[in-house]
Amino acid sequence: MAQPWPHPKTGMFWFRRVVPNDLRAIVGKWEERLTLGTKDPAEARVRYAKVSAEVEARWANLRAGTRALTERECHALAAQAHDTWLRMHADEPSQQFAWHPKLYRVLWSKQLTSETPTMTEVDADEVLIRAMRRLCYVQADNCLAHHGLQIDDESRLKLAKAIAAAFQRASQTLIELSAGVIAPEPVPEIVGEPSSREVVLADVRAQSASRRANGRSATASSALSMNDLFEAWWREAQASGRKPSTHESYRNTVRGFIAFLKHDEATRVTPHDVVAFKDHRLSTPSPRTGKVPSAKTVKDSDLSALKTLFGWAVMNHKLPMNPAAGLSIKIGRKQQTRPKGFTDAEARAILAAALAYVPGPKELPQTAAAKRCEPRRAFWRLQFLREWSHDEASPAV
């Protein structure tokens, strides 16, 4: 499927993609499904593109067959474990007991006595080292499954050691956080629902890559203006078939947003600015109509435009975050002021006008009957009680 699929019951958007025939035996299913974690169509399209790129990369790796990983590639894959470990324990850094930084020095060099030590020969450090090694191998297998990589045993050991190094760095940061030495940095958010695995390695790949790319291009992104962002988005949107009416609507939103902020720097926009702009639009009459825009207009026009533009900027590594993400307006059901169709009084007035028609002196009876029943504001069904021929007098209708 080429676009997000809305769940019929929850309204949450999902990623759905049919697995190619040559990969179904390897993948073990005929369709890839993943919730996008949002009910907003614009945000769902942005997240859909990210998930689609991940799935395509995974399928390409599966088709490539078994390969060997370099240490550099292993550390690049393990970088996601570092971010996830921090996110899991950022609120309570002192409550992390699964990883023991003091044992990292001998994690891979210590000779274990046996696979199943007895109670008389058990060593506390050995038990902890076994658990830490097992955690690294489990997360290495999860990472390989997510990326669709098939590697040899030596590369699997390299990846497990790289994940151990990532956990060690993250755990040392948590120790400093628990002591109040440094302030915690923002942790990437998960796209979609978290997996049932102990540590989710795959869900922050796009965010971490975006963060590293933004760090390299901080100078270039600092000069990005709202107008430049809009024009860059429109060049791509126009090539994909967006209508001119969309260009006009989004341009008006950008102009109004710039006038409200009193600056044109996209990198300075915060979520609070977008919320303030939304409240401003809901309380300020439009200069063109003199009326306050409805909540539906602000949601479908202004917020949709900002989400699309900033989402496109994040996807193309021009901005580190989408300040309009997750913002919406709950629209209530429109109150029904009258029943559907005509009321009894309206129907009587229409029929009375039809029966009051006076035929001309040379007008045939059947023509007069047809004119009486000619639909004006509604369609009426005409039923003849019996057939009529030219030899007979015209029947009553």
Which residues touch 344 (CB under 8 Å, ≥6 apart)?
A: none
Chain position carrying tokens 């309380």: 283
pLDDT value, residue 123: 74
pLDDT value, residue 59: 72
Q: Spell out where the chain has E strands.
A: 5-6, 13-18, 31-35, 66-67, 150-151
pLDDT value, residue 329: 82
pLDDT tens-digit series, residues 42-60: 888 888 888 888 788 777 7
Are 127 and 250 part of one and the same domain?
Answer: no
Please say which residue of 189, 216, 243 terminates a domain: 216
Q: Is the CA virtual torsion 196, 200, 201, 204 positive or negative?
A: positive
Residue 199 forms part of a structural domain: yes
Q: Is the CA virtual torsion 192, 198, 201, 207 positive or negative?
A: positive
CA distances from 20 to 16, 62, 219, 253 (A): 13, 11, 42, 41
Please say which residue of 216, 240, 270 terminates a domain: 216
Pick the closest to residue 131 from 105, 170, 158, 103 (CA basis). Answer: 103
Domain of 293 in residue numbering reads as 223-315
Are 190 and 304 part of one and the same domain?
Answer: no
214 near 270, Cβ under 8 Å? Answer: no
Residue 136 forms part of a structural domain: yes
146 near 202, Cβ under 8 Å? Answer: yes
Residue ranges of the chain whose pLDDT lies below 70: 1-2, 114-122, 181-223, 334, 372-397
Are 69 and 141 part of one and the same domain?
Answer: yes
Please say which residue of 178, 193, 216 terminates a domain: 216
Residue 55 forms part of a structural domain: no
Which residues touch 89 (CB under 8 Å, ≥6 apart)?
A: 95, 96, 174
Are 166 and 203 part of one and the same domain?
Answer: yes
pLDDT value, residue 208: 46
Are 305 and 277 part of one and the same domain?
Answer: yes
Are 100 and 204 part of one and the same domain?
Answer: yes
Residue 368: strand, helix, or coil: helix
Are 167 and 258 part of one and the same domain?
Answer: no
pLDDT tens-digit series, residues 177-217: 888 766 555 544 443 333 333 333 333 344 444 444 445 44
Backbone angles phi, psi at 87, to 5 degrees: -65, -40
pLDDT value, residue 167: 93
